[in-house]
Chain A
Amino acid sequence: AQTVTQSQPEMSVQEAETVTLSCTYDTSESDYYLFWYKQPPSRQMILVIRQEAYKQQNATENRFSVNFQKAAKSFSLKISDSQLGDAAMYFCAYRRGNSGGYQKVTFGIGTKLQVIP
């Protein structure tokens, strides 16, 4: 079974600084997707960034980027120029590839990010 591990229950960062959230996963599949979701106090789950396993290039979305190390099964999220609105729970997640139509997403336990003004 696939597992997703987030070893940092809480992190803090100064406003405008950079922070990296860690995630490791375990799978025997070669075709899969990895995600970071953000959950602010409003409870809404918001997709931050997505990485296809077959792509070597790391995904980037504005101030958010990932460091995808396939051999090490590591998928960290870097937030640059942190803003107060980035304060939230961040969840790392895994899904098998679309072949076969498998839909289940496995989530990590989450990392709570605090942004200090």
Chain B
Amino acid sequence: DAGVIQSPRHEVTEMGQEVTLRCKPISGHDYLFWYRQTMMRGLELLIYFNNNVPIDDSGMPEDRFSAKMPNASFSTLKIQPSEPRDSAVYFCASRQGQANTEAFFGQGTRLTVV
């Protein structure tokens, strides 16, 4: 398996624009997580899904952020409108709950909002 695949790896956008980050989890994994990493706050869990259903979105900072998982092999994190303070590295991770393994992370998307 190629691991968790995120795209794009880097994104630079202007304030006010819509940004969509994409994630393909490892096949067979039933949990998917979105994290945000900043220097000030470290790694924060934004939202996670189980079997494509959002379970806990309490970490989503505000209504400008939304996440979807239309099927088991794809998820998106959307920011609309984007702001400079959204600049961070966004990670997607997936996990197989039954196997009691830990999550595998993608390589992250570095988002810069100017």
Contacts and interface: CB of A to CB of B under 8 A. Distances in A.
A103 B42 CA distance: 18
A104 B107 contact: no
Interface-centre pick from B43, B100, B102, B110 (highest chain A CB count, 10 A) = B43
A110 B103 contact: no
Given A43-B89, A109-B42, A103 B100 contact: no
Contacts, number: 39
B91 to A, nearest CB: 7
Interface stretch (A13-21, A44-52, A74-82): A44-52
A102 to B, nearest CB: 9
A98 interface: yes
Contact of A107 (B43, B56, B107, B110): B43
Interface of B is mostly: strand
B102 A107 contact: no
A46 B95 CA distance: 13
A94 to B, nearest CB: 12
Q: How large is the interface on A (under 10, 10 to 19, 20 to 34, 35 or more residues)?
A: 10 to 19
Contacts of A50: 102
Interface string B89-104: 1010101010010110
B48 interface: yes
The 6 closest A-B pairs by CB, nearest first: A45-B105, A107-B43, A109-B42, A43-B108, A44-B107, A47-B102
Interface of A: 33, 35, 42-47, 50, 91, 98, 101, 103-105, 107-110
Given A98-B100, A109-B42, 10 more contacts: A45-B91, A45-B93, A45-B105, A47-B102, A91-B43, A101-B50, A104-B45, A104-B56, A105-B103, A110-B42
